[in-house]
Structure 1
Amino acid sequence: MSATITGIIFDKDGTLFDFHTTWSVWTHDLLQDLARTHDGNAEALARAIEFDLAACRFLPTSPIIAATNREGAEALAAALPGANADDIEEHMRQSSGAAPLRPPVPLDPFLTGLAGRGLKLGVVTNDTDHGARAHLTSAGVLDHFDFVAGYDSGHGAKPAPDPLLAFARQHALDPVQCVMVGDSTHDLRAGRAAGMWTLGVLTGMAGADELASLSDAVLPDIGHIPAWLDR
């Protein structure tokens, strides 16, 4: 590339980890759990968040795919009479760290290679800070990242650019020399608003057509980033 890139920010779910593998089984179990403990109906909860309970899969139109835990908890509480969104959010926070993980590429050598180029690496997710660190620790890659922020880390949530700009400030990087990598329009809108390069990846719910207008490039997965940097 003709531009100098000094930092890369990754979304977590759908980017560092395949979205369905991480969240579909966990969501299925969460809905069954909530229905059981609140004498509710799992199918009604699934409809509220546009989740196919039988197929154990999110519908592409689900409003919580890129949402924060708080937004998801409020949507579920609205479909569960007598339930408290605070309690549901805490249940989600505590259980999310055990969600299964499947990265699209072996993360340790991939991240080691990027750091070897002198790049600062960050994770900005609309998951909780606790969930982000639990997943990165479980995958054995937390120490590869110079910055980790969840929606509750004090920097705000995507699509606002604030957590991305916090990464740049913390490492004295020019945002125009940073890249935001994500699988959703929330990620890419945040990157554009921060004045950063944006890369879409197809390991989440969105297709190439949806991501293209907000991306400098759409890649099959994060494993194609080194080749993009070398263009």
Structure 2
Amino acid sequence: MYALLFDVAAEVLLTIAADPKHLGARIGATLVLHTWGSALTHHPHVHGIVPGGGLAPDGTWRACRAGFFLPVRVLSRLFRRRFLEELQRLHEGGRLRFFGELTALAEAGAFAHWLAPLRRTEWVVYAKRPFAGPAAVLAYLSRYTHRVAISNSRLLSMDARGVTFRWKDYRARGSMRRKVMTLACTEFMRRFLLHVLPAGLHRIRHDGLLANGRRTSGLSAAFTNPMDSS
């Protein structure tokens, strides 16, 4: 499923950027997988670092408009459609496994019924320019590349009641955001192990102009070709 998240995120970015109605250029992207929320809940998503432009069909560099990259509504709708299409394909191919309360979803009708409301739900794609500059974005994401789901500094105690740790409730405001939670040891371990990645899965992936094997030529073209005047 993490591979599917990577694949569809990259496909959607490259597809919309290449559309002449939008940027009309071949872009690059570095995607970083992040699986946890502050309370160790399972919240898989990818952060993307994307240059503010790409190579036009004539080989020139085409920059995005000032303060605008790609329409998030268009990205969101295409991501939703493509992710659910691929999820359905995996189910039809027998490549999904269900356990516990979800066992019934192995049946085609039950799975289709479960997917139906997701096709009407608004999916979130968030895009913004780096307020503190590109270096700050790289520094922020670099903290996740070789990090486990919770740092030692957030652990407060462990006793007969369980494990107590600090967490942030992002739905709250101001000082109310910082909270303390105690989980039974078994529940703490269950949540922690949710974020152990499958063997061989890389947390960082590069696509488009930045893809492995094409990065040197892609960046060379981006830095040496003139700007598109359109």
TM interval, short-chain normalised: 0.3 to 0.5
**Is the strand fraction higher in 1 or 2?**
2
Larger radius of gyration: 2
